[in-house]
């Protein structure tokens, strides 16, 4: 057992740190994804694509870097440290691995290049108005007609569908089979007639999620991944990957740094809030939770590198990771005090451009509101508890 | 021992309820808070017409002879409808300063305007360096002939964009955080040297940053004795806390009702999600948090006229209770509504945002815990 970096790993860290410093588009520094244009969101992706570093977690034959688990960990750390725009997971971490694992050669050739280059923007057609936690009850149906499927139904909470070129979509192809056994995994071109995207504005004023309506949408049968009615297997594989990325340890470290900065500038009777015992103890508590999660994640990654997992333990990362993210934003609201009331401009806010308050405090409450989504999405934290109870504890 | 309401108080609640049911549905509120103005002066006029703005003033002052309990009833109903109009700032705070600290002349000059709905007030007390300490003031008022000259800066003055008059705290003597030397002034927002920059708040209201540059006021703008204003400021902010506590219970009541209803109708895995024990217990905890908050709200509103120490403990205790309960109920209501709870189009998120902001107003949980422990 050894938790220290080797000299080679330290050299790797210096290399990637320097690369990020020299190549991260400087105009994006400090920007929030919620307010960025499609092209801005993709800028860092394109830089990494050129460098060959856009999918360190993929097998080398499909474009991976061949980095060790530790190197990938260092890479994530350094990106968080530099606050780079997080890469969108829909292509790179969700459908990409499904395609190279379960897709045919034709599909790999057709879809992987666009995912890697960023030319194809993907969105996730999973949840439906009536199927959230109980995803397998989904009702969007696809009926085979000749060499096409005709898809009817609706999807919801579809993140950034407003920019998407493609959607990977769970559809019911056998209405008579047991729930999980009649589902298929279809790739749908968002330009197909019959698709309507309606924005959903969240309580912080952001437009991140959408409803997607599908009415007689004609999808070529060659866009079916794997076998018909076996889609649930691929969907679960994808959800496992989604959960392992969800811990967000490196980003939370950065968020704690920002929290400390805010609490260091805020004064209580002339003394920085961060120097008052009660607040610094609360920050210490969340920092300790995060250290534990970091090592838990490293243990999971180490097991994964030996070919085990990501198993149901990934649910620990989801639950603890999101609780920590939420707690940090909650503490930030406390730290900011009176100025937490100020609304920062977002797409659907009142168009305010005057945002008073100490540096770094802008939008703190809205970030807190927005982060409530994390214990709901990706399988709610209640569902994650069920998974651990059933799969790990055998209850 | 009697926790029942009088016939007049029940009538008052019914009056507020029927007005708000009629004129203050969530969709209208949501639309109004996105307009440039951000509030409805015509609703304010109706509040005046129905006597709501007169409720807590004595009959001698032209009011209806009520007090804290009337404020509590009105604010609870306002909380249920997420009313943005500045009742707390105008009636509870400015009205409170005038009633409890104002001279007969000041009462005569200003209370009729409040009762009639003609004058809206805001309370300019917080400063960027002061956080929640009411005495931490760099704004100064210097004696200038028979009047004063005010210089300084006030942060996050809620309702100020809608107000004509301000209650302003300023230091007339002493060091930056001394208890002695705090004075309270009435200032016209249109006075020379007052400049404001307005902005929306996350709970759908409006606030201003206000700069005072050589603002001249007459001697009769001073409320109470020069330099002795802090006890009055503390008393009135505790009255505001009592009113906000009632507002918070109104928000929680609506959230709990909506959450229970949703969990009874939303089906997953073939059953209403309210059948799952983990969610049932969560809703029981939300219910208990609400009941405990109602209790603390009653207590603080009944103790506002007790000794300073007793009132302080009641107000700080209530603020801690509603801070913790508001956070828990708000977060869980969103969680149990799932994605729907995150949306702007459902009222759940709006109650959650308001509850969060009530905690930051007049000192959050940590601040009030400290205040309570020091008063105990």
With CB atoms and an 8 Å threshold, state whether B353 touches A337: no
Kindly report the number of other CB atoms within 10 A of residue B281's CB atom.
Answer: 10
CB contact B129 to A (< 8 Å): yes
Please state the length of chain B: 376
Above 80 in pLDDT, residue A213? yes
With CB atoms and an 8 Å threshold, state whether B344 touches A203: yes
What number does CATH give the domain B231-375? 1.20.140.10
CB contact B89 to A (< 8 Å): no
Beta bridge partners of A209: A200
CB contacts, 8 Å: A210 with chain B: none
| The two structure tokens encoding residue B340 | 């729907």
**Pairs across A and B, CB distance < 8 A:** 147
Question: Do A212 and A167 contact (CB within 8 A), yes or no?
Answer: yes
Question: Do B152 and B139 contact (CB within 8 A), yes or no?
Answer: yes
Note the pLDDT of residue A244: 55
Note the pLDDT of residue A11: 97
CATH fold match for the domains B7-119 and B122-228:
no
Query: What is the residue-wise DSSP string for B229-253?
Result: -HHHHHHHHHHHHHHHHHHHHHHHH
* The CATH number fitting domain B122-228, selected from 2.102.10.10, 1.10.3720.10, 3.40.50.920, 2.40.110.10: 2.40.110.10
The residue assigned the tokens 């309990």 is B69
This prediction's pTM: 0.96
What value does the mean pLDDT take over residues A150-165? 97
Note the pLDDT of residue B288: 98
The residues near B109 (Cβ < 8 Å, ≥ 6 apart) are: none
Above 80 in pLDDT, residue A32? no
Question: Do A112 and A155 contact (CB within 8 A), yes or no?
Answer: no
Kindly report the number of other CB atoms within 10 A of residue A137's CB atom.
Answer: 17
Question: Can you tell me the distance from the alpha carbon of B15 to that of B19, in angstroms, rounded to the nearest whole number?
Answer: 6
Cα–chain center distance at A103: 22
Above 90 in pLDDT, residue B230? yes
Note the pLDDT of residue A350: 54
B86 DSSP assignment: -
CA distances from B194 to A149, A245, B95, B155, B209 (A): 68, 52, 22, 13, 10
Note the pLDDT of residue A395: 95
Question: Does domain B7-119 sit in CATH 3.40.1160.10?
Answer: no
CB contacts, 8 Å: B131 with chain A: 266-268, 273, 337-338
Test mutation, A341, A346, A349, A363, chain B, max B CBs within 10 A: A341
Q: Which pLDDT tens digit goes with each residue over B276-286?
A: 999 999 999 99
CB contact B197 to A (< 8 Å): yes
Interface of A with B in 361-390 (CB under 8 A): 365-366, 368-369, 372-373, 375-377, 380-382, 385
Interface of B with A in 146-175 (CB under 8 A): 155-156, 158
Q: What is the 3-state secondary structure (H, E, C) of chain A?
A: CCCCCCHHHHHHHHHHHHHHHHHCCHHHCCCCHHHCCHHHHHHHHHHHHHHCCCCCCCCHHHCCCCCCHHHHHHHHHHHHHCCCCCCCHHHHHHHHHHHHHHCCHHHHHHHHHHHHHCCCCEEEECCECCECCCHHHCCCEEEEECCEEEEEEEECCCCCHHHCCEEEEEEECCCCCCHHHHEEEEEEECCCCCEEEEEECECCCCCCEEEEEEEEEEEEHHHEECCCCCHHHHHHHHHHHHHHCCCCHHHHHHHHHHHHHHHHHCEECCEEHHHCHHHHHHHHHHHHHHHHHHHHHHHHHHHHHCCCCCCCCHHHHHHHHHHHHHHHHHHHHHHHHHHHHECCCCCCCCCCCCCCCCCCCCCHHHHHHHHHHHHCCCCCHHHHHHHHHHHHCCC
What value does the mean pLDDT take over residues A85-111? 96
B207 DSSP assignment: E
What value does the mean pLDDT take over residues A182-186? 97
Q: Which pLDDT tens digit goes with each residue over A340-367?
A: 999 988 765 555 678 999 988 999 999 9
> Least CB-CB distance to A157: which of B155, B327, B339?
B339
Please report which residue ranges of chain B form alpha helices under DSSP H: 7-23, 26-33, 41-49, 68-81, 87, 95-101, 104-115, 230-265, 277-302, 308-337, 347-360, 365-375
| The two structure tokens encoding residue A301 | 């990654």
Which range is least confidently modeled, A28-37, A85-94, A123-132, B141-150? A28-37
Note the pLDDT of residue A308: 65
Sequence ranges of the domains in chain B: 7-119, 122-228, 231-375
Strands A148-155 and A141-145: antiparallel
The residues near B81 (Cβ < 8 Å, ≥ 6 apart) are: B20, B24, B26, B29, B250
Q: Which pLDDT tens digit goes with each residue over B181-225?
A: 999 999 999 999 999 999 999 999 999 999 999 999 999 999 999
Three-class secondary structure of residue B62 per DSSP: coil
Residues of A involved in catalysis:
242
CB contact B38 to A (< 8 Å): yes
Question: Can you tell me the distance from the alpha carbon of B168 to that of B222, in angstroms, rounded to the nearest whole number?
Answer: 10
pLDDT-derived band at A310, boundaries 50, 70, 90: low
Mean pLDDT, all residues of chain B: 97
Note the pLDDT of residue A2: 76
pLDDT-derived band at A309, boundaries 50, 70, 90: low
pLDDT-derived band at A5, boundaries 50, 70, 90: confident
Note the pLDDT of residue A103: 97
Q: Which pLDDT tens digit goes with each residue over B57-102?
A: 999 999 999 999 999 999 999 999 999 999 999 999 999 999 999 9
What number does CATH give the domain A122-228? 2.40.110.10
Closest-approach residue (CA) in chain A for B210: A356
What value does the mean pLDDT take over residues A56-76? 92
Fold of A245-392: Butyryl-CoA Dehydrogenase, subunit A; domain 3 (1.20.140)
């Amino acid at each position: 057992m050894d938790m220290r970096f080797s000299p080679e790993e330290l050299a790797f860290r210096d290399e990637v740190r320097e690369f990020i410093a020299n190549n991260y588009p400087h105009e994006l520094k400090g920007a929030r994804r919620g307010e960025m244009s499609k092209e801005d969101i993709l800028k860092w992706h394109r830089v990494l694509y050129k460098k060959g570093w856009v999918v360190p977690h993929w097998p080398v034959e499909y474009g991976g870097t061949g980095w060790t688990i530790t190197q990938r960990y260092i890479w994530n750390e350094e990106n968080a440290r530099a606050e780079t725009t997080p890469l969108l997971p829909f292509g790179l971490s969700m459908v990409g691995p499904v395609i190279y694992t379960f897709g045919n050669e034709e599909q790999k050739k057709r879809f992987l290049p666009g995912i890697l280059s960023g030319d194809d923007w993907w969105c996730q057609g999973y949840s439906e108005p009536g199927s959230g936690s109980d995803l397998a009850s989904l009702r969007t149906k696809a009926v085979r007609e000749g060499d096409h499927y005709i898809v009817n139904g609706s999807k919801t909470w579809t993140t950034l569908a407003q920019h998407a070129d493609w959607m990977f979509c769970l559809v019911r192809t056998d209405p008579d089979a047991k729930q999980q056994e009649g589902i298929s995994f279809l790739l749908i071109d968002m330009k197909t007639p019959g698709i309507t995207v309606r924005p959903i504005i969240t309580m912080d004023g952001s437009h991140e999620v959408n409803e997607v309506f599908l009415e007689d949408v004609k999808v070529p049968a060659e866009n079916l991944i794997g076998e018909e009615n076996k889609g649930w297997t691929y969907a679960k594989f994808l959800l496992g990957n989604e959960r392992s990325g969800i811990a967000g340890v490196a980003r939370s470290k950065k968020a704690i740094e920002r929290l400390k900065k805010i609490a260091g500038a805020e004064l209580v009777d002339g003394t920085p809030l961060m120097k008052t015992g009660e607040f610094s103890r609360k920050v210490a508590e969340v920092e300790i939770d995060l250290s534990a999660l970091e090592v838990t994640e490293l243990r999971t990654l180490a097991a994964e590198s030996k070919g085990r997992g990501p198993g149901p333990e990934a649910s620990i990362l989801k639950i603890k990771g999101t609780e920590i993210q939420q707690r940090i934003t909650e503490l930030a609201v406390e730290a900011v005090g009176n100025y937490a009331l100020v609304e920062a401009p977002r797409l659907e806010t009142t168009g305010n451009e005057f945002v008073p308050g100490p540096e770094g405090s802008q939008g703190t409450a809205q970030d807190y509101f927005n982060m409530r989504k994390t214990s709901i999405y990706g399988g709610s934290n209640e569902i994650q508890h069920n998974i651990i109870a059933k799969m790990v504890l055998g209850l | 021992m009697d926790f029942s309401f009088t016939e007049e108080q029940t009538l008052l609640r019914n009056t507020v309820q029927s007005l708000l049911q009629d004129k203050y549905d969530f969709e209208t509120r949501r639309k109004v808070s996105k307009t440039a103005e951000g509030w409805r002066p015509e609703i304010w006029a109706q509040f005046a017409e129905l006597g709501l703005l007169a409720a807590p003033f004595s009959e001698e002052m032209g009011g209806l002879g009520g007090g804290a309990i009337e404020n509590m009833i009105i604010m609870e109903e306002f909380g249920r409808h997420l009313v943005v109009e500045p009742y707390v700032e105008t009636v509870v705070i400015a009205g409170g300063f005038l009633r409890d600290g104002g001279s007969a002349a000041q009462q005569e000059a200003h209370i009729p305007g409040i009762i009639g709905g003609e004058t809206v007030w805001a309370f300019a007390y917080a400063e960027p360096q002061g956080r929640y300490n009411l005495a931490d003031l760099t704004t100064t008022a210097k004696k200038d002939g028979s009047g004063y000259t005010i210089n300084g800066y006030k942060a996050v003055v809620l309702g100020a964009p809608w107000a004509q008059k301000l209650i302003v705290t300023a230091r007339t003597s002493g060091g930056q955080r001394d208890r002695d030397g705090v004075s309270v002034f009435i200032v016209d927002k249109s006075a020379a040297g007052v400049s404001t920059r307005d902005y929306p708040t996350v709970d759908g209201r409006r606030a201003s940053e206000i700069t005072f540059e050589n603002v001249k006021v007459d001697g009769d703008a001073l409320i109470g004795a020069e330099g002795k204003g802090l006890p009055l400021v503390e008393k009135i902010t505790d009255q505001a806390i009592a009113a906000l506590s009632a507002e918070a219970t109104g928000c929680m009541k609506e959230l709990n009702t909506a959450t229970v209803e949703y969990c009874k109708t939303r089906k997953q895995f073939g059953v209403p999600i309210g059948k799952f024990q983990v969610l049932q217990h969560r809703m029981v905890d939300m219910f208990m948090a609400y009941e405990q908050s109602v209790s603390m709200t009653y207590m603080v509103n009944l103790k506002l006229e007790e000794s300073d120490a007793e009132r302080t403990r009641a107000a700080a205790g209530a603020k801690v209770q509603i801070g913790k309960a508001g956070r828990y109920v708000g977060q869980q209501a969103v969680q149990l509504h799932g994605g729907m709870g995150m949306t702007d189009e459902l009222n759940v998120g709006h109650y959650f945002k308001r509850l969060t902001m009530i905690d930051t107003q007049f000192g959050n949980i940590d601040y009030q815990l400290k205040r309570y422990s020091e008063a105990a």
